[in-house]
Chains A and B, each alone.
Chain A
Amino acid sequence: MREKDISRLQTALFPSRRWGSGLLVAALLLALYAIVILGLRIERPSLFVLYLGATASLILAYQRLPVVSRQIARDFRDNAGLAAVILTVLLVLYPIVVRDDPYLIHVAALSAIFAVMALGLNITLGFAGLLDIGFAVYFGAGAYTSAQLAIHFGVGFWLGAVLGGFVAAAFGFVVAWPALRVHDHYLGLVTLGYGLMMNLLARNLKFLTNGTDGVIDIPPPAIGSHSFTEPLNILSLSMPFQTNFYYLASATALVGALVSYRLLNSKLGRAWEAIREDETAARCSGIDTRGLKILAFSTGAFFGGIGGALYAHMIGFISPDSFTFLESITILVMVVVGGAGNILGVVAGAIALVILPERLREFEHLRLLIFGLALVVLMINRPQGIFPRTRTRRGPRPGIESIPLEPSADRASPA
């Protein structure tokens, strides 16, 4: 009834429903963008806390009103292409909007890097349902590989990052073998132990990692003669050098999201989901659960390695302290809080979990305390994450294969 009212109101406001929902999508995206930038710009801690409260209640309100949220979700689905274009433009414009403050660009680049890694864990955990509490291993593997190759063998960033991804995937492959034998809690423990062990090895194997001193002076990436530590000049605008990394990391995250999305909707993704929902049933249906589990670990790890390489070359310094248990947990929380399996949710989770700690520096010493409390409260109230995975029916229902399918709007995503 109320839903009908809303659509009637909409038809009254906008003569053509299509145009109406398109405008709505554009307005909503712009509003969201403004909210995020406002959050980044607020200087006073007290104001920021107020802002957090307001944002949280907005999200809550959105979720408490299924009529509105369903309508919005439908509008986004109908205008997926438009939404993607607007989002891309907004992302491209971001450094120009905040170009007076390089720090904000740096933070955004960092969020994008963590988004890449969270997307990786999302494949392992969200798609295939395999718990991995040692994700920092792949982060570290990618970072060290690419950094050491660049320093000692002069391998450029582009090749180094890909190699870093593959080395990380090998690390994922290694842990996947023991992981095949164990489930649930035990799987979590195996990966946890793996993460802690690798961190200790990184501290002690000095010839590979230079121990706790870390690796310094990692050369920045370059395109042609343009080094990434030089300011970026677009038209007549000179942008701080962080912009280079911002574009690189965002593009990687975008590619990561697209790959994730394509994977999720492929045969492979469905097989992973089948394993997550019921492994025995999946195996009975002829799915190679062993091979696919290994593949899930390796693919996730590959993303982690790429993220690690980006991180190493952006920060220019890595040490075992950058890849501790806390990082593993942070990435895990990004995925769980964002809603495991939901690609956009995971990216949102990554952005929130990078920006919030940066913004809460005033409360430095209480940060982890707040983090812990927030986790407990969140898990009690929203165990599925803030943006739970929506279950969509894919493909034809059994028995109606012969009916030609119309291009279904249900299958488009609001990306």
Chain B
Amino acid sequence: MYTLVAVGFTLFFGVMGLINFAHGEVFMIGAFAALVVGRLFTNSGIADGWALIATMLIVAILFCGVLGIFIERLAYRPVRQAPMLVMLITSLGVSFVLREGVKEFFPEGANPLGFPSPYKFESLHIDLIAVGYTQVAMIIASIVLVAGTNLLVERTWVGRSMRATADDPDAARMMGVGIGNVIRNAFFVGSALGGVAGVMNGLYYLSIRFDMGWTMAIKGFTAAILGGLGNVYGAALGGYLLAALEVLVVALVPQGSQYKDVFVFLILILVLMFRPSGILRRAAQKMG
């Protein structure tokens, strides 16, 4: 999950130089969109778990992708040339609007909402380790998505124009790259990934809240920085590392669960100080 959110951040930052605080909210809205799908399915009595998940994912991808384009068009495009403080505050504003919008206008939006569980809790037993199918599916799905995004960025025409924009927007424009379209594409892909992460989060914890996006935004961003901003695989690696670190802190430090977020922020600061281009420095330079 961290991984998918981190990849979204990396795309925005690489292409636009923007720290998109609203990304966490897109993640949250992805989960809520899936919740609506889940309720529709329950009402119409379709019981097929896989069909439900597939529909949820498709809806979340489309909804969040389009939402991302909308946000970009309405809020970020007008301030694209402005100093970064302006973009930062704009994204905070968008984030407030989305979060409070869901809280106020989604029925019961201010409370944690139960998420439909499409399958029974089966788990895979390998010796003594029990791994839930959900977890396995999530790991596989995130690997597939990250690999797919990386292919998109590295191998296709769309990706090449994104990388060109990231390197040098002016030069890219002179070479005939439509910057506006590139940014729109990046927002669609990044937001769609955020939406998928939101659905996964719902499936995993079976409960979603309007304010879950904020923590996710910070952690996703930390993961993206850890891996080197602008580097898809780096972001993925950062996501896994960060998750592993949290588990370790909870397990090893007394009262660790209270302090795990402290460690997340500490890592954020330390990485920014000493390896601002992330732990995969050389790879990061490829995309700026």
Q: Which residues of A contact B272 (CB under 8 A)?
A: 178, 181-182, 186, 189-190, 193
A41–B214 alpha-carbon span in the complex (Å):
37
A182–B269 alpha-carbon span in the complex (Å):
10
A197–B272 alpha-carbon span in the complex (Å):
15
Whether A373 contacts B93 in the complex (CB less than 8 A), given A185-B17, A189-B272, A197-B262, comes out as yes
Bits for B251-270, please: 1 = Cβ < 8 Å to A, else 0: 00001001101100110110
Among listed A52-60, A103-111, A328-336, interface-contacting one: A328-336
Bits for B46-90, please: 1 = Cβ < 8 Å to A, else 0: 000000000000000000000000000011001100111110111
Residue contact A375 to B93, C-beta cutoff 8 Å: yes
User: Is A196's beta carbon under 8 Å from chain B?
Assistant: yes
Residue contact A336 to B93, C-beta cutoff 8 Å: no
Residue contact A375 to B265, C-beta cutoff 8 Å: no
User: Is B19's beta carbon under 8 Å from chain A?
Assistant: yes
User: Is B94's beta carbon under 8 Å from chain A?
Assistant: yes
User: Is A45's beta carbon under 8 Å from chain B?
Assistant: no
> Taking CB as reference atom, which chain A residue is nearest B97?
A372
Contact of A366 among B78, B90, B104 (CB under 8 A): B104
Residue contact B90 to A376, C-beta cutoff 8 Å: yes
Whether A372 contacts B100 in the complex (CB less than 8 A), given A178-B272, A194-B269, comes out as yes
Q: How far, in Å, is B235 (CB) from chain A's closest CB?
A: 15
Residue contact B273 to A201, C-beta cutoff 8 Å: no
Listed residue (A189, A204, A332) with the most chain B CB atoms within 10 angstroms of its CB: A189
Q: Which residues of B contact A368 (CB under 8 A)?
A: 96, 99-100
User: Is B165's beta carbon under 8 Å from chain A?
Assistant: no
A340–B274 alpha-carbon span in the complex (Å):
30
Bits for A365-398, please: 1 = Cβ < 8 Å to B, else 0: 1101101111110011001000000000000000
Bits for A318-359, please: 1 = Cβ < 8 Å to B, else 0: 000000000001001100100010000000000000000000
Whether A366 contacts B261 in the complex (CB less than 8 A), given A182-B276, A196-B218, A329-B92, comes out as no
Q: Which residues of B contact A373 (CB under 8 A)?
A: 93, 97
User: Is B114's beta carbon under 8 Å from chain A?
Assistant: no
Residue contact A332 to B89, C-beta cutoff 8 Å: yes
User: Is B95's beta carbon under 8 Å from chain A?
Assistant: yes
User: Is A28's beta carbon under 8 Å from chain B?
Assistant: no
> Taking CB as reference atom, which chain B residue is nearest A382?
B86
User: Is B101's beta carbon under 8 Å from chain A?
Assistant: yes
Residue contact A336 to B85, C-beta cutoff 8 Å: yes
Q: Which residues of A contact B255 (CB under 8 A)?
A: 204
Residue contact A375 to B88, C-beta cutoff 8 Å: no
Whether A197 contacts B265 in the complex (CB less than 8 A), given A329-B92, A369-B96, comes out as yes
CB-CB contacts below 8 Å: A182-226 with B:
182, 184-186, 188-190, 192-194, 196-197, 200-201, 203-204
A186–B17 alpha-carbon span in the complex (Å):
11
Residue contact B100 to A379, C-beta cutoff 8 Å: no
Contact of B100 among A184, A332, A366, A376 (CB under 8 A): A366
A188–B85 alpha-carbon span in the complex (Å):
9
Q: How far, in Å, is B60 (CB) from chain A's closest CB?
A: 23
> Taking CB as reference atom, which chain B residue is nearest A340?
B85
Q: How far, in Å, is B182 (CB) from chain A's closest CB?
A: 20
Q: Which residues of B contact A118 (CB under 8 A)?
A: none
Q: Which residues of B contact A178 (CB under 8 A)?
A: 269, 272-273
The 7 closest A-B pairs by CB, nearest first: A372-B96, A375-B93, A369-B100, A197-B265, A372-B97, A376-B93, A193-B265
Interface residues of B (CB under 8 A from A): 13, 17, 19, 74-75, 78-79, 82-86, 88-90, 92-101, 103-104, 218, 221-222, 225, 255, 258-259, 261-262, 265-266, 268-269, 272-274, 276
Sample 29 A-B pairs with CB under 8 A, ordered by A number. Answer: A178-B272, A178-B273, A181-B272, A182-B272, A182-B273, A182-B276, A185-B17, A186-B276, A188-B84, A188-B85, A188-B88, A189-B272, A192-B218, A193-B268, A193-B269, A194-B269, A200-B262, A204-B258, A204-B262, A329-B92, A336-B89, A365-B104, A369-B96, A372-B95, A375-B93, A376-B97, A380-B78, A383-B79, A383-B83
Interface residues of A (CB under 8 A from B): 131, 178, 181-182, 184-186, 188-190, 192-194, 196-197, 200-201, 203-204, 329, 332-333, 336, 340, 365-366, 368-369, 371-376, 379-380, 383
